[in-house]
Amino acid sequence: MQENLAIAGDTASIVDQDGRETRTEGVKSCPRRADLLMESGSMAACKSREMHLYAQDGHGFGLRPSKLPIAQWPLLVETWLHTLGVLSR
């Protein structure tokens, strides 16, 4: 994985939803390194970024009802898009 992530100035705002249980190449990571690299690159480029890291996720999170907090991610993304003015109320 590339250590230095350069985010272009014209990159759109970024939203990231991820869980600690997500596996990359069969290895559980905590938190995922890619999330931290993306956060670092976004901050360096002064880009708007929303990041949510959840303790539990499960396969296909958000696609079916669940009692886990990560199941709320679609509503959080919708709210975020409203705050950016991408969606209107």
Q: What is the pLDDT of residue 53?
A: 83
Listed residue (78, 81, 26, 53) closest to 61, CA to CA: 53
In our burial notation (b when 16+ CB lie closer than 10 A, e otherwise), range 20-53 reads ebbeeeeeebeebebbeebbebbeeeebebbebb
Report pLDDT digits (tens) over 24-70.
555 555 556 777 777 788 888 888 788 888 888 777 777 778 888 88
**Does the pLDDT of residue 19 top 90, yes or no?**
no
For the chain, the domains span 14-84
Check residue 33 and give its pLDDT: 73
pTM of the model: 0.68
Alpha-carbon distances of 19 from 2, 7, 45, 53, rounded to whole Å: 21, 23, 25, 5
pLDDT at 2 exceeding the cut of 60: no
3-state secondary structure of 11: coil
* Residues 71 and 65: beta-carbon distance below 8 Å: yes
Q: What is the mean pLDDT of residues 67-81?
A: 89
